[in-house]
Chains A and B, each alone.
Chain A
Amino acid sequence: MTKVIKILGTGCPKCQTMTGVVKDVVSENNIDATIEKVEDIMEIMKFNVMTTPALVIDDVITIKGRVPSKDEVLALLN
């Protein structure tokens, strides 16, 4: 099943880094997933997070407020 990955962040450097990490993990491991960047603050607030960047996988918030390592993201996606 295709996983839906959302990256919540208003475009700060940390959010860019997180997007990079997630994209790398997905392509390196051939994971079936769509990646969407959510930059609109109103959309972000619907997820009830207070610190960005946040990583949402299939509508579950998995990481917030920090940039994860590749291994961490891979573990979350498996």
Chain B
Amino acid sequence: MFDWIQNIADWFVYDVLNMNQGQHLAEALNFFIYDTTKILILLFVVIFFMGIVNSYFPIDKVKNYLSRHKLYGLEYLMASLFGVVTPFCSCSSVPLFIGFVRGGIPLGVTFSFLITSPLVNEVAIGLFIGLFGLKTTIIYVISGVLLGTISGVILQKLKLESYLTPWVKEVLENAQREQDIFQAEKQPFKQRLPIIWAEVIKILKGIIPYVLVGIAIGGLMHGYIPEGFFEKYMDKDNLFAVPIATILAVPMYSNASGILPVVQVLVAKGIPLGTAIAFMMGVVGLSLPEAMLLKKVMTLKLIAIFFSVVTLCIIISGYVFNILL
């Protein structure tokens, strides 16, 4: 599918720049051109597609759906799936949280949404396809959705309402299944397109520097770290690798874009995929800035419980991957 990009990279490096095949620099440059072109194309396609979905399926509709329907346990899965198609900027997490709670949606279901949304987002999916291929991407998406679902169920079982900040509790008491009808914007696709387009360009502009730096670092590491280097430290039998990788990852806040190309090289050099995926979920799904924002609606104790449950689920899924893959 991507042969033509390889041809372009070959043509540019060997014909236009007239470098010799087999030369270190030429190979590195070739790899860089091929990888960045492929990944940028995939990112563009995925972000654009998600932009269209999101335009027809905005967050208000999601909330109304969840607050109107009783789904006998399936609502956790639904919330988690909605999280995949409705990306939000982390600064919206507090208003989202309140909006959901006010709509009478159970706390656990709200958590399911809040966990999956950043974990499985359009940028991560685009990068994943480009770096790890379709199969691994599907596994990542499915496990992200399950992780959100299960964490939500656990958090609901813990009955955490009393650990919300006082004003949120007040909101909770006045919560009602919302009756207000969502005024759907009835815009034709032609009018939506420029808005979606502008958003795609904005997202791409924001992440391109990180992606380029990430791929460049990955490319350098590719050349200098010997094959199988990490196997000594992080093989599948090392029980501590997954928890250590996850716990290291939680405070990190890279918008996935920078870290993924580096992780791909680590996997190529012998780190088990499950350990790597656990690491990435820790980076993408949980972050300190997010915790700071959530302080407005949750007590520290609740944030700690929330983060612990999700971290634990990530660690478990890391182990599961290492066994399965």
The stretch that binds A, out of B7-15, B86-94, B263-271, is: B86-94
- Shortest Cβ distance from B1 into chain A, in angstroms? 32
Complexed CA–CA distance, A13 and B255 (Å): 14
Contacts A51-B88, A66-B199 given: A10-B293 contact, CB under 8 Å?
yes
Q: Is B303 an interface residue (CB 8 A)?
A: no
- CB-CB contacts below 8 Å: A26-76 with B: 41-42, 44-45, 48-52, 65-67, 69
Contact, CB under 8 Å: A44 / B95: yes
Rounded to whole angstroms, the CA-CA distance of A13 and B96 in the bound complex is: 17
For B59, what are the chain A residues with a Cβ–Cβ distance below 8 Å?
50-51, 65
Instruction: Given A42-B167, A45-B98, A65-B59, decide whether A51 and B202 contact each other with a Cβ distance below 8 A.
Output: no
Known: A65-B59, A67-B202, A69-B198. A52 touches B92 (CB 8 A): yes
Question: Quick one: closest B residue to A72, CB to CB?
Answer: B195
Q: Does B296 contact A (CB under 8 A)?
A: yes
Cross-chain contact B91 with A14 (CB below 8 angstroms): yes
Main secondary structure of the interface of A (DSSP, over half): loop
Q: Are A45 and B95 in contact (CB under 8 A)?
A: yes
Smallest Cβ-Cβ distance to A17: which chain B residue:
B202
B95 touches A51 (CB 8 A): yes
C-alpha gap A5/B256 in the complex (Å): 35
Instruction: Please state if A52 and B91 are interface contacts (CB–CB under 8 Å).
Output: yes
Across-interface contacts of A65 in B (CB, < 8 A): 58-59, 88-89, 92
Indicate the size class of the contact surface on chain B. 20 to 34
Q: Is B99 close to A, CB under 8 A?
A: yes
Assembly CA distance A65 to B90 (angstroms):
11
Q: Is the CB of A50 within 8 A of B91?
A: no
Taking a contact as CB atoms under 8 Å apart, the answer to whether A50 and B96 are in contact is yes
Contact present for A15 and B91 (CB under 8 Å) = yes
On chain A, the residues within 8 Å of B195 by CB distance are 66
> A12-B89, A12-B91, A67-B202 are contacts. A51–B98 as well, Cβ < 8 Å?
no
List B contacts of A44 (CB < 8 A): 95
**Known interface pairs A10-B293, A14-B89, A65-B88; A49-B95 also in contact (CB < 8 Å):** yes
Decide if B91 touches A41 in the complex (CB within 8 Å): no
Contact A50 B99 (CB under 8 A): yes
Flag whether B235 is at the interface (Cβ < 8 A): no
Residues of A within 8 A of B94 (CB): 10, 41
A50 to B135, CA, bound (A): 34
Check if B60 is an interface residue, CB within 8 A of chain A: yes
Instruction: Give the Cβ gap from A20 to chain B, nearest Cβ, in Å.
Output: 14
On chain A, the residues within 8 Å of B167 by CB distance are 42
Interface string of B59-85 (1 = CB under 8 A from A): 110010000000000000000000000
Alpha-carbon distance A10/B293, docked complex (angstroms)? 9
A15 to B90, CA, bound (A): 12
Chain A residues within 8 Å of B, Cβ to Cβ: 9-15, 41-42, 44-45, 48-52, 65-67, 69
16 contacts between A and B (CB under 8 A): A10-B95, A10-B293, A12-B90, A41-B98, A45-B95, A45-B102, A48-B99, A49-B95, A49-B99, A50-B59, A50-B92, A50-B98, A50-B99, A51-B89, A51-B96, A69-B198
Besides the known contacts A15-B91, A49-B95, A51-B95, 14 further A-B residue pairs in the complex with CB atoms under 8 A apart: A9-B91, A11-B91, A41-B98, A45-B171, A48-B99, A49-B99, A50-B95, A50-B99, A51-B88, A52-B91, A65-B58, A65-B89, A66-B195, A67-B202
